[in-house]
Amino acid sequence: MAQNKTVPTKSSVTGFIESIPDATRRADAQLLARLMKDVAGEDAKMWGPAIIGFGSYHYCYESGREGDMPLIGFSPRKAATVLYNAMQGSEAQALLARLGKHTTGKGCLYIKKLADVDTDVLKSMLVESFAAVSKRHQS
């Protein structure tokens, strides 16, 4: 079985964020990192070359594939910032309806710029999602 590419690394989160060429995307990443740190109550780690994650959980699929992933995280991609595990919990759909301009796909939330969304709603989503994922993956 292939090795997982999304694993925690020793790379600098600050260095990664500072290397983002687009000023808006860089500022959004700084704000998201602070927001997620507040929600998770712990510092960020780089997961693979481009995901900033908070907390972690172990998964194991019926296929036998297993690994670790951040409880919540994001990646400031060129087209949009991708948020991972941001749509979990019973209120996710209601909160998405109030979030603002975004798209979704395969469990991910895509935001072109944070100015397009209500950051209070986003924080509520992150709080609920972090709690739901944490509860689901308690050891």
pLDDT confidence band for 5 (50 / 70 / 90): confident
Q: What per-residue confidence (pLDDT) applies to 1?
A: 54
**Which tokens belong to 128?**
């609920």
88 CA to centre of own chain: 12
Which of the two residues, 124 and 106, has the higher pLDDT score? 124
Q: What per-residue confidence (pLDDT) applies to 7?
A: 85
Does 139 have pLDDT greater than 60? no
CATH of region 13-133, choose from 2.60.40, 1.20.1070, 3.90.1150, 3.40.50: 3.90.1150
Does 88 have pLDDT greater than 70? yes
Per-residue pLDDT tens digits for 30-87 = 999 999 999 999 999 999 999 999 999 888 888 878 888 999 999 999 999 999 999 9
Q: What per-residue confidence (pLDDT) applies to 37?
A: 97
Residue from 82, 71, 74, 77 nearest 127 by CA: 71
Task: With beta carbons less than 8 A apart as the criterion, state whether 52 and 73 touch.
Answer: yes
Mean pLDDT along residues 93-121: 95
> What are the residue boundaries of the structural domains of the chain, listed by start?
13-133
- Bridge-based pairing state of the strands 66-69 and 51-54: unpaired
